[in-house]
Amino acid sequence: ELPDAVGSTLFGKQPPTLTLLAPAKINLFLRVTRKREDGFHELASLFQTVSLFDTLDFWAHDRADAPQCSMEVTPNSLGYDMIPTDESNLVMRALQLFAERTGETRRIHCRLHKAIPAQGGLGGGSCDAATALFAANRLAGYPVSQDTLIEWGAELGSDVSFFFSRGSAYCTGRGEIIEPLKQPLPPTVCYLIKPAVGCSTPAVFKALGLEPGQSLDGPDPRVLLEEFQKSVYSATFINDLEPPAFSVLPMLKNLREDLSKFGFQAVMMSGSGSTLFCIGMPLDEVIDTWKDELLAKYDVDIFEELFCRRLEDERLWYTEQ
């Protein structure tokens, strides 16, 4: 229970101390190379941010009657009823972790406006967590280096570290070892197709059925990376989590097959699903009708986005036309 004084009743009238955008990501390719002894899977994946953003407002304050960290969710957020505001939200865990490790005593209240669907393989919770860590550090006057924030992010979740990159990064390990691309990928149109039903990440990894120590064969991820750096439009799209996700959520396979018929250059699942993304234009014959055809058959949301990247000034994510 938050004290009544905390939340929009108090802070809504005051402008936030800091407002940040938190972008979603897609995985342009995702290879699972091995299951580790600790139960996690070794990945090699090209992560790319896209122009679908959550918005986080932060208030730094000294109210003694308020908890160290608190948060609320805007009522018009996507999936509002399902979003927790306690420690099970990664934003709260990020703010608490920062306060514990730094001894920072200024209190922080966060208002989250959610636009990124949950359980979509889009890194929605992870980008919020990375943004909360960044905000706490900035509001405290940058006591902690970015490398340390990346380490703390990895403790919160495998995908969190990536969101400290500029937007295009080759990620290995659990996903937390990030190698930002020297040349970010050019702005590219992508359609995100998010079924109403989501995928549970642990369930999808489990359905892969690997034993600890067991490897999974497939194309060399370094070669895939080179292809994407030459041109997104002629690269090989692959996601080793598609077969297990299709077994967990069989409708995804049909949806993917139907999307492929529209003639995009690539149709691929992001992360552990359930979002599928399409790159390149649909065939001329269906360019005006493919969305209607899809919506007539499936309960999905369609987002038309662009790859985005982060400016020098780390507050701002933007898209280039």
Binding segment for ligand C5P (CB under 6 A), chosen from 74-82, 154-162, 178-186, 284-292, is: 154-162
Q: Scan residues 190-249 and list those touching ligand C5P (CB under 6 A).
A: 201-202, 205
Q: Does 40 bind ligand C5P (CB under 6 A)?
A: yes
Smaller CB separation from ligand C5P, 39 or 250: 39
Q: Does 157 bind ligand C5P (CB under 6 A)?
A: yes
- The β-bridge partners of 193 are 276, 302
What is the DSSP secondary-structure string of 132-153?
HHHHHHHHTTS-S-HHHHHHHH
Binding segment for ligand C5P (CB under 6 A), chosen from 74-82, 139-147, 153-161, 312-320, is: 153-161
How many residues sit close enough to ligand C5P to count as binding (CB under 6 A)?
11
Active-site positions? Answer: 25, 159
Tell me, what amino acid is at 222?
Answer: R
* 150-163 per-residue burial string, b: 16 or more CB within 10 A, e: under 16: bebbbebbbbbbbb
Euclidean distance between CA atoms 228 and 232, whole angstroms: 5
Smaller CB separation from ligand C5P, 17 or 200: 200
Q: Least distance (Å) from ligand C5P to the CB of residue 205?
A: 4
* Look-up of token digits 């992560």: 47
State which residue has the least CB distance to ligand C5P: 158
Binding segment for ligand C5P (CB under 6 A), chosen from 64-72, 73-81, 156-164, 307-315, is: 156-164
DSSP strand E in 126-202: where? Answer: 168-173, 177-180, 189-195
Of 49, 158, 161, 239, the residue at the interface with ligand C5P (CB under 6 A) is 158
Q: 203 to each of 29, 87, 110, how far by Cα in Å?
A: 20, 22, 30
Euclidean distance between CA atoms 51 and 25, whole angstroms: 9
Q: Least distance (Å) from ligand C5P to the CB of residue 261?
A: 32
Binding segment for ligand C5P (CB under 6 A), chosen from 10-18, 38-46, 131-139, 244-252, is: 38-46
Q: Least distance (Å) from ligand C5P to the CB of residue 214?
A: 13
Q: Least distance (Å) from ligand C5P to the CB of residue 126?
A: 7
Q: 209 φ, ψ to 5°?
A: 75, 20
Copy the structure tokens of residue 107: 């209190």
Euclidean distance between CA atoms 285 and 229, whole angstroms: 30
* Look-up of token digits 């991820």: 221
Q: Does 89 bind ligand C5P (CB under 6 A)?
A: no
Question: Does residue 152 contact residue 97 with C-beta atoms inside 8 Å?
Answer: yes
Smaller CB separation from ligand C5P, 249 or 294: 249
Residues that bind ligand C5P (CB under 6 A): 40-41, 43, 157-159, 174-175, 201-202, 205
